[in-house]
C-alpha cells in the first residue's frame, strides 16, 4: 500500500483519507485502486463497523483525474463501489467540495457531513462527459427539476442547498467535519452489526424483508445478546453472529 490513502482506526471506525491534496484528491488509477482495497478490506474486517471517508487538504474530491484520463488510463477499479457500495456503513466527511466523480463517490456513501464552504456538483458535462458513476440517478434522491438543472448545467450547489435537498445530513465548520463524522459513525458502530447491515441493505434496495432475512437477524446470537443486555442494563457485547 502507498500513501495515497491514509487509514486510522478509532475504536470500531476506520477513517480513510484520500491523500492527493496537490491534485484536489482527483481520482487517478493509483488512488482508485488503493481506495478499492481499503474499502474491501474494511468490509471484510468484523472489527470495522463503520467507515469515515474524507480527503486531505481543502477539497474532498474533484472527480476524475482528467490528465490521466487524457493519457488513456484505466479507471474501472472502483466502479464496483459506485454501483453497489459495501455492507459496512460509510460516512462521507466532505472537508471541501465534491465534484463530478467526487460527488458520485459521496452519493455511494450512506451519510454525509459537509463543510460549510463545500460545493457539490455533477459537473461532467462541462468536460464533454456525463455522470457515469451514478450521478444520473440523482433524480431518485432529489426532485427531478433539481437533478436536471444540476446535471445539464453542471453548476454546483452549496452544502447548505444540498442539505435542503436531503443530500447532506450535517453542515458544519470545516474544522468540525471529521469529528462530527466520527461521532456519527461511532453512533452506528455502537449498534448490532447484523441489524445495521440488514437495515442498510433493505433501505438501499427499498424493499420489504424476506422471512429468511428476518430469521438471519432475529435468530442470531447478537439478537439474544441485545435482549439480555437490555434486561441486565448493560452495554451489549456484539459478535456479529
Answer yes or no: do 149 and 66 share one domain: yes
In sequence order, which residues have a C-beta less than 8 Å from that of residue 161 and are 6 or more positions away? none
Among the options 8, 22, 47, 124, which is catalytic? 124
Per the model's pLDDT, the better-predicted residue between 64 and 86 turns out to be 86
Strand, coil or helix: 241: coil
What is the distance between the alpha carbons of residues 192 and 185, in angstroms, rounded to a whole number? Answer: 13
Among the options 37, 87, 104, 116, which is catalytic? 104
Answer yes or no: do 110 and 223 share one domain: no
Q: In the predicted model, is pLDDT for residue 44 greater than 90?
A: yes
Answer yes or no: do 102 and 137 share one domain: yes
E strand or H helix at 124: none
* CATH at 28: 3.90.226.10
Answer yes or no: do 16 and 118 share one domain: yes
What is the distance between the alpha carbons of residues 106 and 118, in angstroms, rounded to a whole number? Answer: 12
Q: How many domains does the chain have?
A: 2
> Has 215 been annotated as catalytic?
no
- Span 164-210, pLDDT tens digits: 999 999 999 999 999 999 999 999 999 999 999 999 999 999 999 99
Cell of residue 117, nine digits: 464552504
Q: In the predicted model, is pLDDT for residue 222 greater than 80?
A: yes
- Cα radius of gyration (the chain): 18
Answer yes or no: do 142 and 42 share one domain: yes
- Span 96-150, pLDDT tens digits: 999 999 999 999 999 999 999 999 999 999 999 999 899 999 999 999 999 999 9
- In which domain, by residue range, is 227 found? 193-232
Q: Is residue 198 part of a domain?
A: yes
Q: What pLDDT is attached to residue 15? A: 98
> Has 124 been annotated as catalytic?
yes
Q: What percent of the chain shows pLDDT beyond 70?
A: 100
- Numbers of helices and strands, H then E, in the chain: 10, 10
Amino acid at each position: 500500500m502507498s500513501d495515497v490513502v491514509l487509514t486510522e482506526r478509532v475504536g470500531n471506525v476506520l477513517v480513510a483519507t484520500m491523500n492527493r491534496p496537490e491534485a484536489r484528491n482527483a481520482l487517478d488509477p493509483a488512488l482508485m485502486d488503493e481506495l478499492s482495497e481499503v474499502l474491501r478490506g474494511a468490509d471484510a474486517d468484523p472489527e470495522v463497523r463503520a467507515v469515515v471517508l474524507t480527503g486531505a487538504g481543502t477539497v474532498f474530491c474533484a472527480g476524475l483525474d482528467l490528465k490521466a484520463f487524457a493519457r488513456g488510463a484505466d479507471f474501472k477499479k472502483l466502479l464496483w463501489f459506485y454501483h453497489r457500495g459495501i455492507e459496512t456503513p460509510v460516512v462521507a466527511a466532505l472537508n471541501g467540495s465534491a465534484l463530478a466523480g467526487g460527488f458520485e463517490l459521496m452519493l455511494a456513501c450512506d451519510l454525509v457531513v459537509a463543510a460549510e464552504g463545500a460545493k457539490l456538483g455533477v459537473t461532467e458535462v462541462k468536460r464533454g462527459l456525463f455522470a457515469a458513476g451514478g450521478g444520473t440517478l440523482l433524480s431518485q434522491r432529489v426532485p427531478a427539476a433539481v437533478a436536471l438543472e444540476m446535471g445539464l448545467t453542471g453548476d454546483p450547489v452549496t452544502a447548505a442547498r444540498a442539505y435542503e435537498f436531503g443530500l447532506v445530513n450535517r453542515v458544519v465548520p470545516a474544522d468540525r467535519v471529521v469529528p462530527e463524522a466520527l461521532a456519527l459513525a461511532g453512533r452506528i458502530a455502537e449498534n448490532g452489526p447484523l441489524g445495521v447491515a440488514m437495515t442498510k441493505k433493505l433501505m438501499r434496495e427499498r424493499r420489504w424483508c424476506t422471512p429468511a432475512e428476518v430469521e438471519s437477524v432475529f435468530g442470531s446470537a447478537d439478537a439474544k445478546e441485545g435482549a439480555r443486555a437490555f434486561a441486565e442494563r448493560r452495554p451489549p457485547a456484539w459478535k456479529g453472529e
